[in-house]
Amino acid sequence: MSQEIMRTPLVALRGISKHFGEGEARVDALRDVSLDVYPRQVVALLGPSGSGKTTLLNIIGCILDPSSGSMDLDGEAVVRDGQWQRRDLRRLRLDKIGFIFQFHNLLPFLDATDNVAIVLQLAGADPATARARAIELLDYLEVGHRRTATPARLSGGEAQRVAIARALANRPRIILADEPTAALDSKRAGIVMDLLRRLAMEQDAAIIAVTHDEKIFDRFDRIFQLRDGRLEDGDPLGAEGSSRG
């Protein structure tokens, strides 16, 4: 990989803060968070409940407004001084960001294949191409045999794997995961993390995961701690810009 790629983060945060309420009722969820995540990095956010992990993930995902600070995504200025610089955030999310939530949020009236394929179709892919990509991902995550099942007929682990396939369908360069392996056993968790790492390498993507799952800690390039809304680099796994290759 060229040094230029390594110097340009896919996610660049500077002084991001977020508060809810005002006056005596004000709660500071994030305080002056600065963070760079580079292509081919797989990064973990750790911290106790209420430390700001999910709030930070939602700001990076352009779901939640920051109160102050700046954010660049894939080289584009997205937030400056707490203000959005782009109007069509939906298109930005669709083109560049994949989401894996703790709860699968699958559409109940679609089967597993169509729950994955719909993301590609919204981005402009033809139905045949979309379904082929969906089946490829479901097979890789070892849930292809359930591709015609609706969410109500899937187990919790199966539904989560379908949701992960959906998040990866568009080959996004930024993948945000909130407890992506919480519902999976050790084998399936390893499959998911290996897939995420492969995609990070093949597509120069960045993966940011909120997790408490100790069985996948060795899959991360960097581990950050959030405490009371402040980010601490508890990085035992490598220096900035490193990659396991």
pTM: 0.82
- Comparing 33 with 3, which gets the higher pLDDT? 33
> For residues 177 and 211, what is the distance between their CA atoms, to the nearest angstrom?
8
pLDDT in tens, 39-91: 999 999 998 887 889 899 999 999 999 999 999 999 999 999 999 998 888 88
Separation in Å, CA 90 to CA 11, 77, 93, 178, 197: 17, 16, 5, 19, 26
pLDDT in tens, 189-220: 888 788 788 878 888 899 999 988 888 888 89
The angle subtended at Cα 209 by Cα 63 and Cα 113, nearest 5°, is: 75
**Where does residue 182 rank: exposed (0-12), middle (13-18), buried (19+ CB within 10 A)?**
middle
- E strand or H helix at 60, and its extent? helix 53-60
Place of tokens 């539904």: 159
What domains sit in the chain, N to C, each tagged with a CATH number?
37-64+88-233 (3.40.50.300)
CB 164 within 8 A of CB 156: no
> For residues 241 and 86, what is the distance between their CA atoms, to the nearest angstrom?
27
pLDDT in tens, 135-169: 999 998 889 999 999 999 998 888 888 998 898 88
Closest CA to 29 of 11, 47, 48, 56: 56
- Comparing 228 with 4, which gets the higher pLDDT? 228
> What was the pLDDT predicted at 243?
41
Of all residues in the chain, what percent carry a pLDDT higher than 90? 46
> For residues 166 and 79, what is the distance between their CA atoms, to the nearest angstrom?
27
